Structure 1
Amino acid sequence: MREIKFDLATEADLPFIVAVYNQTIPSHMVTASLTPVTVSQRLPWLKAHKPDSHPIWVVRVDGKPAGWVSLSPYHPRAAYRITAEISIYIDQQFRHLGLGTKMVQHAEKAAPQLGIKNIVCLIFGANLPSLGLFTKLGYQTWGTLPKVAELGGRLMDLKILGKGIH
């Protein structure tokens, strides 16, 4: 049985976080970034995530970093503070082990203590694995932004899925 552990991300984890994020860019299915990001570019993003309101966790499998999950502010205006955007990224060598489910459930379990009542995710319509994961976990489509991004020469819809956390 594999040991799965969630640790709050630190600056020392940022190279791993960036490397896993960059793995997804060539697929033109997961992120709107078109070119790899650097550790220095992502440092302000990391520092903006506070453990007591919007944490980033690194998931480790048998002590090895395998992915990361974050809860980010959905919108900067104060009334939206009860809603967070979830992002999950799994290192390609650890995919298809059920980590996505565990990562979403970990964030959901932490949400009430963080004052978060809703979690939303923004997923491209072509990203069927992520849409399937979040739908399986009870997320519903709260909106669709048609053809708002161009990735790999294709116009992509953006699905907004959400779930109330109680």
Structure 2
Amino acid sequence: MIRLAAPADLPRIVEIYNAAIPGRLATADTEPVTVEARRAWFEKHGPRRPIWVDERDGEVIGWASLTDFYGRPAYGATAELSIYVAPEAQRRGVARALVAHAVAASPALGLTTLLGFVFGHNAPSLALLGGFGFVRWGHLPRVAVLEGVERDLDIVGLRLG
């Protein structure tokens, strides 16, 4: 069941996010974050830029968020989509369900464009988003350093409607 995240979900959201850090595929954070450090981020989200969780058998196993792009009013119809899935729930369709939900919900939120910022070596995420029609709109070569390796960042986009 995909539903809006509640404040009580924040510890699990952080736990899932932190589980992605060691894999060096999904985030540029290199050290775990704390619940307290993510509280302001969580509270910034709301009806216009929600966080959704996928809850199955009473446990949150993945989450998606929409975040303002670039913080200027002219970009108000554009949002960045982020998806994270608990390691034990990967390859079970959770990410696909979250992307589908976000894409379907976005027009009602006044969005015309979704963006994804994905490391170039993250083939699974690029393929997932590509399956929904996201295409590469930008390529930033070697802008991140993870474990001493320079990594590219791809910007993928989807026009809605």
Secondary structure of 1:69's partner? strand
Cα deviations across residues 114-153 of structure 1 (Å, max 9, x unaligned)?
1010000000011111011111111000000110000011
Choose the corresponding residue for 2:125, options 118, 123, 130.
130
Paired with 2:135 and 2:36, the residues of 1 have a C-alpha distance of: 35
Task: Name the amino acid aligned to 2:21.
Answer: I
- Which of 5, 12, 20 does residue 8 from structure 2 map onto? 12
In 1, are the aligned partners of 2:62 and 2:95 still within 8 Å (CA)? no
Structure 2 gaps, min length 5: none
In the aligned structure 1, how far is the partner of 2:80 from the partner of 2:14?
Answer: 18
CA distance in 2: counterparts of 1:109 and 1:30, whole angstroms: 23
Q: Which amino acid aligns with 1:74?
A: F
Consecutive unaligned residues in structure 1, runs of 5 or more: none
Question: Which residue of 1 is the match for residue 32 of structure 2?
Answer: 36
1:95 pairs with 2:96:
no
TM-score normalised to the size of structure 2?
A: 0.98
Q: CA–CA distance in 2 between the matches of 1:162 and 1:77?
A: 18
Name the residue aligned to 2:58.
63
Pick from 16, 24, 27: which aligns with 2:23? Answer: 27
Structure 1 length normalisation: TM-score? 0.95
Cα deviation 1:19-66 (Å, max 9, x = unaligned): 00000111112100010000000000000001x200001111233211
**Partner SS, residue 70 of structure 2:** coil
CA contact (8 A) 1:66 1:91 kept: yes
**In structure 2, how many angstroms separate the alpha carbons of the residues matched to 1:18 and 1:99?**
17
How much does 1:159 deviate?
Answer: 0.2
Contact 1:75 1:81 in 2 (8 A): no
| Percentage of pairs with the same residue | 42
SS of the aligned residue for 1:163 comes to: strand
Q: Distance in 2 between matches of 1:115 and 1:60?
A: 26
Q: Which secondary structure state, in structure 1, belongs to the residue aligned with residue 76 of structure 2? A: helix
Checking the alignment, whether the CA contact within 8 Å between 1:145 and 1:159 is kept in structure 2 is: yes
Q: 1:152 aligns with which of 142, 147, 154?
A: 147
Q: Which of 121, 124, 138 lines up with 1:143 in the alignment? A: 138
Match of residue 107 from structure 2: 112
SS in 1 for 2:60: strand
Q: CA deviation at 1:70?
A: 0.4
